[in-house]
Amino acid sequence: MRDQRRQIARYVWQLLSGELANKVLRFAALVVFARALSPNNFGLVNVAIALSGIALVASSLGLPDLGARDAAVAPERAGWLAGHVAVTRVLAVGAVASVGILVAALVWPSHTLLLIMAAAMAVFMAASGDWLARGLERMSLASAANAAGGLTVLAGSLVVATLSSSATAALGAFALGECVVAAVLWISLHRLSRVEFGVRGMRAMLHRARPLAVSSLAIYSYYANFDTIILAASHSNRQAGLYSAPYRLFLVLNLVGVFAAYAMLPTLARLADARGQADADWLVRSALAVLAGYGLFTLGLAELKGADALGALFGAPFREASGAFVLLAAGVAWYAIGYPAGYSLIALGENARFLRGAATASVISIGLDIALIPPLGMSGAGLATMLAFAAAALVWLSARGLLGRQTLPIVAALIGTSGLAVTVAFSDGAESVSGAATLAVSVALLSIGFRFRLSRIWSRVLRGPDAR
């Protein structure tokens, strides 16, 4: 089991190395756009990216997650899975995007070209085979493809900043980056396995993927830019543009939890297939303290230096979004433990239980976005995201059987530091105290996670000083 844990850690690093390069490059491109475009056009770019993501997830049908699991358990089916999942997803996203463009041409005719570019971006993402690379444990391939896409976006941003200041041209750079990612993956995967394109035989797979399809929509409802769209509608495109800066940082910070979940999936799927439930539980539980420590470390830094970071990267106007950034960083800490626990249910074949947590958080997120954003603006959006992520984490931990005395210190630490984050976001003068306290808790959790099994320490605390 220790060997498998080291292997998972290696997979996490491989995914992170490429994706960090990708995110850093894309983040640099966003900095270029934030300075080259007006806040109004920058807001339009982010709204279009959100709409592209919605179209993609609405048509994913749960196939990427299920396909990754099937490829891990039966790699000999990789060629069939690659071709059939890709064709089905491209047809689905094309249908959804076509309807969206027709509706937008009637209600938002001045931005039709922008939405066509967003649709092209969604199609390229649907055609990508990153899920298959992860399922086959080709993490370095997924990393290289993502890094190539990020480099393309950055190069495109420099060209756009020089020649144009339109939102459509900026979005074109992102669409080209997704095209490069898909091309690199397909060229490499075709060498690994003979790809069989088609849709015949997909009905059974679509039936199995139904809970994951609903889960994807539910997760995206609180992980996408719905809050950005509501901000633009209830306040202004400028507010949406200012909020997009901390939101992009938030997406980068969330990578650790997401890739921890992706890296564990192949190993957990094989353990579950071999009826190794206890070993699978141990792998997930042993990662929680480290992931929570990471999340709280980012929250402490956001409280201490968030406003300065936003101003230095995006420009002085973006310092206004520092309160929202603190709340989003608190959401990172909850998601860092919740998503790996929830995603491990897919490896165990418990797709309906995975849906339970995603649906709960979806309802909370949409309701709070509608209730909090109009009166509170950007801070309302950040608070809604934090509370939705906390709800998702608690439900997934419970569904996975991990919510108990062994994880009580982690949950208590996250609740306490989240309360401090709310105080920082909605009042002045608490940043130093809250940031220092949060960093201290994060260091304690990281130390426990790296050196000991949290369950053993906590059981000794409960038994008293005489416990051996």
Mean pLDDT, residues 341-361 taken together: 76
Give the model confidence (pLDDT) of 5-16 as tens digits: 555 555 556 555
Q: How far is CA 169 from the centre of its chain?
A: 25
Question: How many angstroms separate the Cα of 9 from the Cα of each of 118, 188, 258, 291?
Answer: 35, 24, 13, 12
Q: What percent of the chain has pLDDT over 90?
A: 10
The CA distance from 273 to 276, in Å, is 7
Q: Are 337 and 291 in contact (CB under 8 A)?
A: yes
pLDDT of residue 44: 82
Alpha carbons within 13 angstroms on the beta-carbon side of residue 361 total 35
- If one compares 354 and 90, the residue with the highest pLDDT of the two is 90
Average pLDDT, the chain: 80
Q: What is the pTM of this model?
A: 0.64
- If one compares 6 and 53, the residue with the highest pLDDT of the two is 53
What residue type is assigned to position 31 of the chain? Answer: V
Q: Measuring CA to CA, which residue among 256, 316, 320 is closest to residue 292? A: 256
pLDDT of residue 277: 65
Least confident of 292-296, 311-315, 450-454: 450-454
pLDDT of residue 279: 66
Extract the tokens encoding 384. Answer: 């809604």
Strand segments (E) across 113-240: none
**Residue with tokens 């949950």, as numbered in its chain:** 411
The CA distance from 377 to 245, in Å, is 15
Give the model confidence (pLDDT) of 70-84 as tens digits: 887 788 788 888 888
Any idea what the Cα angle at residue 119 is, between residues 115 and 125, rounded to 5°? 145
